[in-house]
C-alpha cells in the first residue's frame, strides 16, 4: 500500500453529528499521531469556515473539499475556488432556488446561511431528514431540473448536476498530482459514495450506510471518531 492522502468526511467520521460536542480526546489522539499518518484532507458538505476550524482541531492544514464538491479550500491562498463545471447560470438559478425552497419548505426546513454554491436544508424539529429530502426532491425535479440532491444524517444538500463529492475529489487530486490508488477515503453516508466508489482504498465507521459497508475494505467496529481512529490503526499503525 502506498497511500499518500487520507480523504475523510466530517460528520459521522470526525464528529458525531451537527449539534454534538467535539470529542476532544479523539482529536488529541489524531494530533498526537499525525507524524505516523499520511496528510489528512476533508471532503464535506460544510463551508470554508467550518473546514478551517476542523483542520485547526486536527492540527494539520491540507487543501480540502467543501460544499459537496462545489468548492476547494486552498490553504496557501486562504481562499476557495469553485469547481470549473459551475457556471454563472447555475449561480443565478441558485438564488432563485433558495427563494423558492424557502417559501415551499416553510415549517419543514430552513436553509443554512454562508455557503457559496451548495444549498443545504436542515429540518425543523421532528421532521426526519429522509422526509425533507423527498419533499425537496419533488420540488427541484419539477422546477429546477439542473440541480441534484443528496442527504446525510443531518441535512439535505442540493448542488448543480454533475457536482458531488466525487467531482470535488477529481479536482483536488488534479491539484495535488495524486492518483486514485494513492488515497484512502473514509465516509459514512450515501453522499460519500460518489468519491469512495472511485478509490481502491476505502473504509467506513460502524455507523456507515450499508451500501458503503458493502464496498469498504474495512468497516470499523466503533462509530464516528473512534471508528476513524480504528481505521487509522488498521491501515497505518
Angstrom distances, CA of residue 210 to CA of 9, 158, 207, 216: 16, 23, 9, 10
List where CATH 3.40.50.1000 sits in the chain: 5-84+163-236
pLDDT for 85 beyond 80: yes
pLDDT digits (tens, 9 = 90+) for 25-56: 999 999 999 999 999 999 999 999 999 999 99
Strands (E) located in 27-95: 40-42, 64-66, 71-74, 79-82
Point out which residues pair with 119 in neighbouring strands.
158
CATH 3.40.50.1000 assigned to domain 5-84+163-236? The reply is yes
Contact by Cβ (8 Å): 198, 179? no
Model confidence at 19, in pLDDT bands (50, 70, 90)? confident
Q: What is the pLDDT of residues 106-158, one digit of tens each?
A: 999 999 999 999 999 999 988 999 999 999 999 999 999 999 999 887 889 99
pTM: 0.93
Query: If you compute the radius of gyration of the chain from its CA atoms, what whole number of angstroms results?
Result: 17
pLDDT of residue 80: 97
Q: How far is CA 106 from its chain centroid?
A: 26
Interval 149-195: pLDDT, tens: 998 878 899 999 999 999 999 999 999 999 999 999 999 999 999 99
Which CATH topology does 88-160 take? Hypothetical Protein Ta0175; Chain: A, domain 2 (3.90.1070)
Which segments of the chain belong to CATH 3.90.1070?
Answer: 88-160
C-alpha cell of 44? 464535506
Amino acid at each position: 500500500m502506498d497511500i499518500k492522502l487520507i480523504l475523510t468526511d466530517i460528520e459521522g467520521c470526525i464528529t458525531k453529528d451537527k449539534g454534538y460536542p467535539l470529542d476532544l480526546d479523539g482529536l488529541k489522539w489524531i494530533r498526537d499521531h499525525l507524524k505516523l499518518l499520511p496528510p489528512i484532507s476533508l471532503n464535506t458538505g460544510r463551508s470554508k469556515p467550518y473546514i478551517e476550524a476542523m483542520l485547526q482541531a486536527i492540527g494539520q492544514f491540507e487543501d480540502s473539499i467543501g460544499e459537496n464538491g462545489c468548492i476547494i479550500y486552498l490553504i496557501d491562498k486562504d481562499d476557495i475556488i469553485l469547481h470549473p463545471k459551475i457556471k454563472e447560470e447555475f449561480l443565478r438559478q441558485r438564488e432563485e432556488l433558495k427563494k423558492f425552497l424557502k417559501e415551499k419548505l416553510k415549517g419543514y426546513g430552513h436553509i443554512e446561511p454562508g455557503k457559496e454554491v451548495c444549498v443545504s436544508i436542515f429540518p425543523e424539529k421532528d421532521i426526519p431528514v429522509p422526509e425533507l429530502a423527498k419533499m425537496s426532491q419533488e420540488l427541484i425535479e419539477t422546477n429546477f431540473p439542473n440541480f441534484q440532491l443528496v442527504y446525510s444524517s443531518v441535512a439535505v444538500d442540493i448542488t448543480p448536476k454533475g457536482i458531488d463529492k466525487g467531482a470535488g475529489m477529481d479536482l483536488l487530486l488534479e491539484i495535488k498530482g495524486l492518483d486514485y490508488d494513492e488515497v484512502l477515503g473514509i465516509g459514512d453516508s450515501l453522499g460519500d459514495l460518489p468519491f469512495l466508489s472511485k478509490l481502491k482504498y476505502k473504509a467506513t465507521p460502524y455507523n456507515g450506510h450499508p451500501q458503503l459497508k458493502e464496498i469498504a475494505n474495512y468497516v470499523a467496529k466503533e462509530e464516528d471518531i473512534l471508528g476513524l481512529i480504528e481505521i487509522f490503526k488498521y491501515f497505518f499503525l
